[in-house]
Amino acid sequence: MQLGLIGLGRMGGNMARRLMAAGHQIVAWDRSADAVSSLSKDGASGASSLDDLIARLDPPRAVWIMVPAGDPTEQTVTMLADRMTSGDTIIDGGNSFYKDDIRRSRALAPKGVNYVDVGTSGGVWGADRGYCLMVGSSDDAFARLRPIFRTLAPGQGETLPTPSLDLSKTTAHEGYVHCGPPGAGHFVKMIHNGIEYGLMQAYAEGFDILRNAGSETLPPEQRFNLNLPEIAEVWRRGSVVSSWLLDLAARALADDPQLTKYVGFVQDSGEGRWTVDAAIEEEVPADVLTAALYARFRSRRDHTFAEKLLSALRAQFGGHVERPR
């Protein structure tokens, strides 16, 4: 199948190469001429501009966008919409806010241009492992793009389908799924990332407790000098907490047991905040996911004014003196 692809960063470039390896025809464009040139050497048809990309595609066209969420995606969708005709399809594979997807889909509908949002999970490992795809689109758009989704997805592999799942009615066991109309794909991916925050925070806190099991604040007989790389490794085998995230933690700890390469300044990419916003709108308690997001905020600060006020209050009501630094 022929597909236009805009944005040839780590994920976009890897996705293009995975598709080409399976025989799909990729027409690629990026603001970086070097990125286009590199992918052209691997077999892509390199476009010199957005207009050139559109001209190289046969109608009905399908163009996949892999650029940062927010203004870059908004501008790209707008520019594509101005150049596309009825029956064409715009696919946003980034991490856009699902309400933006709904708005864009409605704006494109009068022109007959399909809008598809694809929550894409897999990161830099996806080129080899495949990408988990959560799709929001019309039924017809999903059906047309299935060859692309099937190639990008990991496939069933060694993970057997859940016994009670009706495989005649879903593609979920292949690693891609039609979640619903436009917006649904990025909504599901948003919650996926919120859960990811919670899982990562749970591992982080658990290993921090293990690391401090030898603290001098504990009675000598309760102190343990634990080997974290070995614990991470053994948990990968038969444990109920095993996961790909644990695999990555084990790798990081084996490479650098003290994690000396990191300072612990943890960014968030937006989906965690949107997840908490959605929980508030739905009036759904999300204690763990919210706390995990706040932990990332806390990681970026030294002692806050709030913590200074807490110390001041303890000193005022109880004469408690702070420990010297």
Q: Reply yes or no on whether 196 is catalytic.
A: yes
Q: What is the pTM of this model?
A: 0.93
Task: Write the pLDDT tens digit of every residue in 218-239.
Answer: 999 999 999 999 999 999 999 9
Catalytically annotated residue among 189, 271, 281, 307: 189
Tell me 123's DSSP state: G
What does the pLDDT read at residue 271?
Answer: 95
- What are the distances in angstroms from CA 274 to CA 96, 104, 190? 10, 18, 7
Sign of dihedral through CA atoms 223, 229, 232, 238? negative
CA distance 101 to 97: 7
**Is 283 annotated as catalytic?**
no
Residues of the chain with pLDDT under 50: none
Active-site residue identified among 196, 230, 281, 283: 196
Tell the burial category of 178 from Cβ atoms under 10 Å away from its Cβ (0-12, 13-18, 19+).
Answer: buried
Q: What is the pLDDT of residues 239-292, one digit of tens each?
A: 999 999 999 999 999 999 999 999 999 999 899 999 999 999 999 999 999 999
